[in-house]
Every structure is written in C-alpha cells, then in structure tokens.
Amino acid sequence: MIVAWIYSEIPPQAFIDRLRAGIDLSTIFAGLIKAPFMALIIGIVASIEGMKVGGSAESLGRHVTSAVVKSIFVVIVLDGLFAMFYVAIDF
C-alpha cells in the first residue's frame, strides 16, 4: 500500500477499496489452509535430504540443491491437487 501510494500516487483508501474488490475472503482462507501443508512438505523433504548429507561441504551443497528442487516440485504438485480439491467442493 505504501509503495503504491509513493510511486503510483494511489491513496491508501483507494488501494484498500481495490484490494477488497479484487480479493475475496475465500481466497485468503484457501491460502491459510494450504500454507501448513506446504510448510510440512518443505520440512519433510529438507529433513530427508539433510539426513543424506555426508562429511563434506560438497555433499551439503548437493543435498541442499536437491532439497530445494524436490520441494519446489512437490509444492507445485500439491498446489495443483489443492486446486482440484477446491474446484470439486466448489470453494
């Protein structure tokens, strides 16, 4: 809101009005429901990859990269599943 006010000269009240018109309350709840699941997946993938680290910095770097790539992939798949679920229940 502050950035829009400073750079685009959009007053705060207009920003809030446009935000209310553009974002439904169900959108916020959908994000709040999905967030813990995403965090759990990222934590599990990171923990599994962390347990595979050997005794060198090279191994650490390789497994951190692997954890990030796997986490991104699984989060995208899980987000798709949530989208299909939300459509099925008409959320």
Cα–Cα distance measured from residue 65 to residue 61, given in angstroms and rounded to the nearest whole number: 6
Query: What global pTM score does this model have?
Result: 0.72
Mind listing the pLDDT tens digit for each residue in 18-64?
999 989 888 889 999 999 999 999 999 999 999 999 989 999 999 99
pLDDT grade for 88, boundaries at 50, 70 and 90: very high
Distance in angstroms (rounded) separating the CA atoms of residues 38 and 69: 14
What residue spans define the domains of the chain?
Answer: 24-88
Taking the CB of residue 67, how many other CB atoms lie within 10 A of it?
19
Q: For residue 8, is pLDDT > 90? A: yes
Q: How many Å is the Cα radius of gyration of the chain?
A: 20
What is the average pLDDT across 1-25? 93
- CB hemisphere CA count around 78 (13 angstroms): 17
